[in-house]
Structure 1
Amino acid sequence: MLQGKVWCLRLLPIPLLIIILAAYNCSYGVLGRYGIINQSWNTSKAVCDDWVTQQKWESLNFKFNKTTKLFLKLEDFFWNKYVSQLPLPYGIKGSEQMLVKVLEAAQSSDMPAHIENLECRTCVVVGNSFAIKNTSLGSIIDKYDVVIRLNDAPVRGYEEDVGNKTTLRFFYPESASSNPRLHNDEDTLMVMVPFKPQDLRWLKENLKDEKRVRKGFWKPPPLIWLGHSSKVRVLDPYFMHQTANKLLHIPLQPRKGQVSFHPTTGILAVFVALNYCDVVHIAGFGYPQKSDQQQPIHYYGSHTMKAMKSSPHDVNLEGQALKRLEKLGAIMFLHPHL
């Protein structure tokens, strides 16, 4: 009798091991279904070949070539390479002199060499949507070569869901945090997206420590901005132009009486990633239904859909564009979404 009990105890770990393995395989399959787990995270050409990136880009039918030159350079102006027929945010017409002053103050206009030289760039764009809350995606997000974040979205205190690595942060004066060092890495590049001439003036005044002028903003930007000049970049308005014109089909110069929309920094960042990166995943995108006026729109703060009533963005149009990109296989969401 005693001997039989001993054998039962010896056999007990076997069914437990089977249960553990089954649970692991089940969870791995669920995560893999949503693209949270990739077979390979090394930056090898095999990853790029697996995504067939060039064919996916061509399937977008944009009818123009990808470009990996992201930022404006001072030498472009000296050699008259940059000719623009449109003002900000779709061109630099009328802002050339201010841009030269900004680029003189900034100490570089390149991407870091360790990223630029990768054979295959894996990138994730982390949006600010409430959809990323409680996803526990942080450790996955931090594995990408390039992590792009938006505006003043916080990282500290939200690492479990959003990670803590930031390669590029897209921002403009009204969305700037007064101290970028709080929620970014030491080597994070702060990428200015200029929507209007005042945005460049604000950046110049901060980089050169000049007297600040606060007129011309829909929301007061920080009077003191502690970003380091060596980490500042200015995104080429070409990307805003192509996001609006090719991806969203927004009129660049609305007719009289038409509502004027322009892309959000989120959809813009996705388009930039499609140009620069070989693998593009996204997380934290999507807004609540318009009928739900109480649902928070961000994973932080308390803003709801009411705050979007006077927005200059067409979030429904952008949502449709993301679904189209997902269907084509150009991007992949890291979590379930509507």
Structure 2
Amino acid sequence: MCHVNDRTTMKPSHKLLFVLCPMLVVGFIYYSSGKLHLHVWGQKPLYDKQGFLLKLDGQLPAELAYKYGNLSEGVCKPGYAAAKMTAIYPKFMKPAPMFLDRNFKRLAKVRNYLPPFGFKTQERIIDSILTATKNYGLGEDLDSLGCKRCIIVGNGGILANKSLGSRIDDYDVVVRLNEAPVAGFGKDVGTKTTMRITYPEGAIQKPERYEKDSLFVFSAFKPLDFKWLRQMVFKEKLRGTEGFWKSVAHYVPREPTEMRILNPYFIQEAAFQFIGLPLNNGLMGKGNIPTLGTVAITMALHNCDEVVVAGFGYDMNMPHAPLHYYETVKMSAIKESWTHNISKEKEFLRKLVKANIITDLTNGI
């Protein structure tokens, strides 16, 4: 500590200390505040309230430019999405398993939340489901890849007539959402499906419309959803459908070994960390549920080396444009949703595009 003699006459060296000490303390506080992203005395903040860098230019930080700069065009860049994400969002922690496995109860971030942000109260039913599914990865070939390039295919009408099918099929992992069909739309959306992420009300209802070889990936939004999944896994007669907001599939033509449970951490992280939706005591409420597309992108940031999207983005200035690529419903049909906050979500996705963390093939975000 700085200590100054309390005699009335100070030596010159003491005088110097007397002046220097407060300056050093102030300097230290100022320096620390910069490091801790606080802003003091009119200094401009570096990060927004979610913790994202304010200045997003897509440029690689020096250490990443050195690491990735000399890789030839088109070569998969190991760890790229997570490294770029960490550069603009220092709180990003990469390890987050894609699917729940038999050790799921150890996942600290989700065990204290009820669905959709966790699995509290559902442990026994999840245990019984995982005993039947037996597999907890993407499959041998994909799990052993040193670098994975993933594409999340949204359902937006923006995909129509873009002829992106063959480009989409080029990715190692092709993620599709809910009941968006492939048959008859291959030219625009491709034909390959690695996994289809869905929840009871979003699942394909006609068994014949399921692709032959994709994983059925389940994302739960309420406790009742797990009961539905158990009935699908064990091929039981569907009972207790009163709590669903629309009709649900009665049968999923998939072996238990082809079914997975998406880690609910991605819903939690997308909602509270990335988008900044209201916590609402950790319960599902008005405007605090991210869309499945954003949940899928969040999952990919943790589990893929490169992340690309297509078919995302609603343009409310074009009310007559098709809402989805596979039906004639118009954009005007989408009203401000009770569960989602589309504008806040778009803000987050725009950060990812601007910082070059994800590539948007259809430029809709």
Q: 1:210 aligns with which of 226, 230, 236?
A: 236
Give unmatched runs, 5+ long, in structure 1: 1-38
Aligned match of 2:226: 200
> Structure 1 pair 86/62, CA: closer, same or farther in 2 (3 Å)?
farther
- 1:117 deviates by 1.5
- 1:273 deviates by 0.8
Q: Does 1:61 align with 2:95?
A: no
Q: Does 1:160 align with 2:187?
A: yes
- 1:270 deviates by 0.7
| Cα distance in 2 between the residues matched to 1:53 and 1:271 | 11
Q: Bigger CA drift: 105-114 or 318-327?
A: 105-114
Aligned match of 1:30: none
Q: Does 1:102 align with 2:129?
A: yes
Which amino acid in the other structure matches residue 322 of structure 2? Answer: P
| Cα distance in 2 between the residues matched to 1:59 and 1:242 | 17
| Cα distance in 2 between the residues matched to 1:56 and 1:69 | 19
- 1:149 deviates by 0.6
| Cα distance in 1 between the residues matched to 2:293 and 2:98 | 16
Q: Does 1:295 align with 2:321?
A: yes
Report if the CA contact (8 A) 2:195-2:215 is conserved. yes
Which amino acid in the other structure matches residue 84 of structure 1? Answer: R
> Structure 1 pair 55/236, CA: closer, same or farther in 2 (3 Å)?
closer
> Structure 1 pair 277/85, CA: closer, same or farther in 2 (3 Å)?
same
Report if the CA contact (8 A) 2:81-2:301 is conserved. no
- 1:58 deviates by 1.1
Which whole-Å deviations, capped at 9, do the CAs of 1:190-227 have from their partners, x for residues lacking one?
11000011111001112223332211101110122223
Report if the CA contact (8 A) 1:105-1:204 is conserved. no
Q: Does 1:329 align with 2:356?
A: yes
| Cα distance in 2 between the residues matched to 1:84 and 1:90 | 9
- How large is the Cα RMSD of the aligned pairs? 2.5
Aligned match of 1:4: none
- Please give the secondary structure, in 2, of the residue aligned with 1:170: strand
Which amino acid in the other structure matches residue 316 of structure 1? Answer: S
Q: TM-score, normalised by structure 2?
A: 0.73
Which amino acid in the other structure matches residue 106 of structure 1? Answer: T
- 1:179 deviates by 4.4
- 1:319 deviates by 1.5
Q: Bigger CA drift: 214-223 or 310-319?
A: 310-319
Which amino acid in the other structure matches residue 77 of structure 2? Answer: C
Residues 69-88 of structure 1 aligned to structure 2 (within 5 Å): 69-77=97-105, 84-88=111-115
Q: Does 1:223 align with 2:250?
A: yes
Which whole-Å deviations, capped at 9, do the CAs of 1:86-142 have from their partners, x for residues lacking one?
100001111112212222232311221211111211111100001111110000000
> Structure 1 pair 113/60, CA: closer, same or farther in 2 (3 Å)?
farther
Report if the CA contact (8 A) 1:176-1:222 is conserved. yes
Q: Does 1:115 align with 2:142?
A: yes
- 1:52 deviates by 4.5
Aligned match of 2:216: 190
Report if the CA contact (8 A) 2:117-2:282 is conserved. no
| Cα distance in 2 between the residues matched to 1:255 and 1:245 | 9
Report if the CA contact (8 A) 1:177-1:222 is conserved. yes
Aligned match of 1:23: none
| Cα distance in 2 between the residues matched to 1:303 and 1:314 | 21
Aligned match of 2:273: 246
- 1:254 deviates by 6.0
Report if the CA contact (8 A) 1:155-1:164 is conserved. yes
| Cα distance in 1 between the residues matched to 2:311 and 2:113 | 32
- 1:310 deviates by 4.1
Residues 26-37 of structure 1 aligned to structure 2 (within 5 Å): none
Report if the CA contact (8 A) 1:179-1:227 is conserved. no
Q: TM-score, normalised by structure 1?
A: 0.79
Aligned match of 1:91: 118
Report if the CA contact (8 A) 1:165-1:185 is conserved. no
| Cα distance in 2 between the residues matched to 1:298 and 1:231 | 27
Give unmatched runs, 5+ long, in structure 2: 1-71
* Structure exhibiting the larger radius of gyration computed from Cα positions: 2
> Structure 1 pair 255/204, CA: closer, same or farther in 2 (3 Å)?
closer
> Structure 1 pair 251/135, CA: closer, same or farther in 2 (3 Å)?
same
- Please give the secondary structure, in 2, of the residue aligned with 1:74: coil
Which amino acid in the other structure matches residue 145 of structure 2? Answer: L
